[in-house]
């Protein structure tokens, strides 16, 4: 390795990367090694469920509103509250939307909500189209666009829909609405029967999360309420880097869903998926060990989870201070290391470390070039 490099900085990079390779955590040496079309509401199993849907297991504390400087590049969040079907469900969806609103206020991002105001002359679908168009026309915004769907969904065996007041949103139309975007996209469909949206929306620089693994999982999905609580909750920050990633929130919410069904002694009727490798197949939470996927549904694309762990609605103070170019290159290096780790069984030990070393050296140089306060 080059003598020009600080041995301390390089050792920190190697130590941190080694921990990441084992546990799937952060590569940031400032943090340290990771630790590891039926319009009615979906059916429920008993009258007690009508109460339990508003009473999640171990609820997280609400995120308090706080003024914040908007992260470099500018992010935007569009939350859509669907048709409740029944008043009890309307309260659950409104509560989830409140968590998102508080998190967005804390993050200082552009925030828009559709479906919470009394029905207007234009349908909720038209209002969503207008919100997406405003995001498309926003000059200077290069940060992620988040689209969050809170509500019920249906599937007729051919087409999945997210239920709105008025015309519904289909997977095909959502794909058309989002097709022009080249910025990173995070789409979280918390509805029942949401899985078909995964294949419709998957692609490069996209993180897609659905509450179900099949369009036929059509009972009310609890995943959305847990994910709303987790998206900015310190308890969901699994690698203790001061921020909660999309991946961490997904894993936390999935665990809480599983806990609900286990404690209720019932068969789970929802299984969330996350896709960030673009293959549209998705990975369930139980295929992760820590923050690293150990299985994948297809043989071609990379493992899911790496990109989802790089995106945070509420970045830490250290993350906000990173220059955009440094953040972008760090993310690329993390993905290179993830790809090398996945290819390790096909490489000799010498080849593996020969390819890994220059990536670690560049990572060390990247952080060595930052002001001392940012290291």
Q: Is 115 part of a structural domain of the chain?
A: yes
Same domain, 222 and 129: yes
pLDDT at 140: 81
Which of 296, 314, 316, 315 shows the shortest CA–CA distance to 305?
296
Same domain, 271 and 365: no
The CATH number of the domain where 143 resides is what? Answer: 3.40.50
HEC per residue, 152-218: CEEECCCCEEECCCCCCEEHHHHHHHHCCCCCCEEEEECCCCCCHHHHHHCCCCEEEEECCCCCCCC
pLDDT band at 332 (very low <50, low <70, confident <90, very high): very high
What is the rounded distance in angstroms from the CA atom of residue 81 to the CA atom of residue 335? 34
204-251 confidence digits (pLDDT tens): 999 999 999 999 999 999 999 999 999 999 999 999 999 999 999 999
Same domain, 162 and 287: yes
What is the rounded distance in angstroms from the CA atom of residue 51 to the CA atom of residue 278? 38
| Single residue among 270, 289, 318 that ends a domain in this structure | 318
178-197 confidence digits (pLDDT tens): 999 999 999 999 999 999 99
Q: Is 2 part of a structural domain of the chain?
A: no
| Single residue among 271, 295, 318 that ends a domain in this structure | 318
44-87 confidence digits (pLDDT tens): 443 334 334 434 333 433 433 333 344 446 899 999 999 999 99
Same domain, 132 and 247: yes
Give me the domain span that covers residue 121: 49-318
**Average pLDDT of the chain to the nearest whole number:** 84
Same domain, 366 and 255: no
Q: Is 40 part of a structural domain of the chain?
A: no
Same domain, 276 and 134: yes
Instruction: Name the H helices within the chain.
Output: 7-23, 49-52, 87-107, 124-137, 171-178, 196-201, 223-230, 246-264, 317-321, 324-343, 349-368
What is the rounded distance in angstroms from the CA atom of residue 117 to the CA atom of residue 95? 14
pLDDT band at 300 (very low <50, low <70, confident <90, very high): confident
Q: Is 131 part of a structural domain of the chain?
A: yes
| Single residue among 318, 342, 366 that ends a domain in this structure | 318
Same domain, 330 and 313: no
pLDDT at 211: 98
Q: Is 236 part of a structural domain of the chain?
A: yes
Examine the pLDDT at 113 and tell me if it is beyond 80. Answer: yes
Same domain, 329 and 194: no
Higher pLDDT, 249 or 370: 249
What is the rounded distance in angstroms from the CA atom of residue 270 to the CA atom of residue 248? 18
Q: What is the pTM of this model?
A: 0.83
133-174 confidence digits (pLDDT tens): 999 999 788 899 999 999 999 999 999 999 999 999 999 999
Q: Is 207 part of a structural domain of the chain?
A: yes
Q: Is 364 part of a structural domain of the chain?
A: yes
pLDDT at 374: 55
Query: Which of the 8 DSSP states describes residue 150?
Result: E
Same domain, 312 and 333: no
Asked if residue 225 lies in contact with residue 202, where contact means CB atoms within 8 angstroms, the answer is: no
List CB contacts of 314: < 8 A, sequence separation 6 or more: 63, 68, 103, 106, 107, 231, 232, 243, 244
Instruction: Tell me how many domains the chain contains.
Output: 2
Same domain, 108 and 194: yes
Higher pLDDT, 169 or 118: 169
Same domain, 277 and 331: no
Same domain, 200 and 216: yes
What is the rounded distance in angstroms from the CA atom of residue 259 to the CA atom of residue 362? 42
Residue 241 structure tokens: 């880097």
Q: Is 44 part of a structural domain of the chain?
A: no
């Amino acid at each position: 390795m080059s003598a020009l490099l600080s041995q301390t900085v390089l050792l920190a990079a190697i130590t941190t990367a080694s921990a990441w390779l084992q546990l799937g955590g952060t590569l940031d040496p400032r943090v340290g090694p990771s630790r590891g079309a039926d319009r009615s509401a979906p059916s429920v199993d008993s009258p007690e469920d009508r109460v339990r849907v508003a009473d999640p297991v171990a609820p997280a504390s609400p995120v308090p509103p706080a003024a914040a400087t908007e992260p470099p590049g500018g992010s935007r969040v569009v939350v859509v509250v669907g048709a409740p079907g029944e008043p009890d469900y309307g309260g659950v969806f409104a509560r989830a939307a409140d968590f998102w609103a508080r998190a967005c206020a804390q993050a200082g991002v552009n925030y828009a909500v559709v479906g919470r105001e009394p029905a207007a002359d234009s349908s909720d679908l038209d209002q969503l189209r207008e919100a997406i168009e405003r995001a498309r026309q926003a000059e200077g915004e290069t940060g992620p666009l988040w689209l969050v769907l809170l509500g019920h969904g249906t599937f007729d065996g051919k087409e999945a829909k997210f239920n709105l007041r008025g015309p519904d949103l289909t997977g095909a139309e959502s794909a058309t609405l989002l097709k022009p975007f080249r910025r990173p996209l995070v789409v979280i469909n918390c509805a029942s029967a949401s899985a078909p949206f995964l294949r419709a929306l998957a692609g490069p620089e996209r993180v897609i999360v659905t509450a179900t693994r099949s369009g036929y999982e059509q009972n009310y999905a609890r995943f959305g309420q847990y994910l709303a609580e987790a998206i900015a909750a310190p308890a969901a920050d699994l690698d203790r880097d001061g921020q909660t990633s999309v991946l961490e929130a997904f894993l936390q919410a999935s665990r809480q869903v599983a806990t609900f069904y286990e404690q209720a002694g019932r068969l789970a009727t929802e299984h969330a998926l996350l896709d960030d490798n673009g293959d549209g197949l998705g990975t369930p939470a139980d295929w992760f060990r820590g923050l690293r996927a150990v299985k994948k549904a297809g043989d071609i694309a990379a493992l899911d989870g790496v990109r989802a762990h790089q995106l945070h609605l509420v970045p830490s103070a250290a993350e906000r201070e990173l220059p955009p170019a440094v953040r972008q290159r760090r993310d690329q290096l993390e993905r290179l290391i993830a790809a090398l780790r996945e290819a390790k069984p096909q490489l000799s030990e010498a080849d593996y470390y020969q390819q890994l070393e220059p990536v670690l050296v560049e990572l060390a140089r990247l952080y060595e070039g930052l002001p001392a306060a940012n290291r």
